[in-house]
Structure 1
Amino acid sequence: MFRDTVHTLLVEALEEREELFLISLDVLPDNTIKIIIDGDNGVVVEDCIFVSRAIEHNLDREEQDFSLQVLSAGATEPLMNLRQYMKNIGRTLSVKTKENETIEGELTQVNEDNILLEWKAREPKPVGKGKVTVKKQAEIAYDVISKAQVVIKF
């Protein structure tokens, strides 16, 4: 019941700020509420404050004691949501499949079913000695991805 109330308030807040979206909502048995959000243009502190106030100001601490944490999805956190993939088009991803294969490449396309990664690799020439650079790509369905992360380059 308490979780449903929190979820309803959260949905209303995110409808008001459509550029923000939910990554996860956890309400623990001790009424600790942990919300992780992301945004199409990233998340700033003011976004977390907005969501926090939208929930906290509409719950009565006299009825239910709770603690509330609103966090942004970190840069090193795995991608969980289609919108996260969409906002990272053009960036390098490291994708681990359920078959334990790791593929790293530029995220070039995203749709409802899969993602497309592209990268360059050095391979032996078909004829003669030496190597040639070839462009490779992999279409990966979401249901075979066990973990996908943005590769941070400095």
Structure 2
Amino acid sequence: MLREKVTQLLQEAMDENPSLFLISLDIQGNNDIKVAIDGDNGVTVQDCIAVSRKVEHNLDREEEDFSLEVMSIGATTPLQQVRQYKKNIGRVLEVKTNAGTKIEGTLEDATDETVTLTWKAREPKPVGKGKVTVHKTETIPYEDIVEAKVMIKF
């Protein structure tokens, strides 16, 4: 019952601010509610407050006691939804695949089924000694991605 009500209230909050989207909702046995959100343009403290108020002001503590925490996902949190990939086009990602490979490249495109990464690599020359820089591109289906994180460069 509580999960259904919270889910409904979160959907209403997302409808009021369409740039926000829900990443996760976790409700522990003691009604400890944890909500993680993200946004197409990032998430401000005001966004978290608005979502928190939407949920908190529409639940009755007399009926069921609860604690509520609304947070934005961290910069190093792995990407989980297609919408997160799409908002990070142009940024550098580190992607681990089911095959055990790790690719660090620029996210060039994100469709509903795949992501496309580009990067430069040093490879041996086809003829002679030495190495040459080559441009690589790989399109990876989401189901082949174990983990993808935005790489923060300073």
Superposition TM-score, scaled by structure 2 size: 0.98
Q: 2:106 is paired with a residue of what secondary structure?
A: strand
Task: After TM superposition, give the deviation of residue 129 of structure 1 in Å.
Answer: 2.5
The superposition leaves residues 18-69 of structure 1 with CA deviations (integer Å, 9 ceiling, x where unpaired) of 0000000111111011000000000010000000000000011100100000
The superposition leaves residues 74-108 of structure 1 with CA deviations (integer Å, 9 ceiling, x where unpaired) of 00000001111011101110001122211110000
Indicate the residue corresponding to 1:59 in structure 2. Answer: 59
After TM superposition, list the pairs within 5 Å mapping 1:103-114 onto structure 2. 103-114=103-114
Indicate the residue corresponding to 2:13 in structure 1. Answer: 13
Runs of 4+ in structure 1 displaced over 2 angstroms? 127-130
* Seq. identity, %: 60
CA distance in 2, matches of 1:73, 1:9: 19
Indicate the residue corresponding to 2:132 in structure 1. Answer: 132
RMSD: 0.8
How many residue pairs get matched?
154
Q: 1:65 is paired with a residue of what secondary structure?
A: coil
After TM superposition, list the pairs within 5 Å mapping 1:26-37 onto structure 2. 26-37=26-37
| Unmatched runs of 5 consecutive residues or more in structure 1 | none
CA distance in 2, matches of 1:30, 1:105: 43
Q: 1:6 is paired with a residue of what secondary structure?
A: helix
After TM superposition, list the pairs within 5 Å mapping 1:54-93 onto structure 2. 54-93=54-93
Superposition TM-score, scaled by structure 1 size: 0.98
Q: 2:78 is paired with a residue of what secondary structure?
A: coil
Indicate the residue corresponding to 1:23 in structure 2. Answer: 23
CA distance in 1, matches of 2:79, 2:96: 12
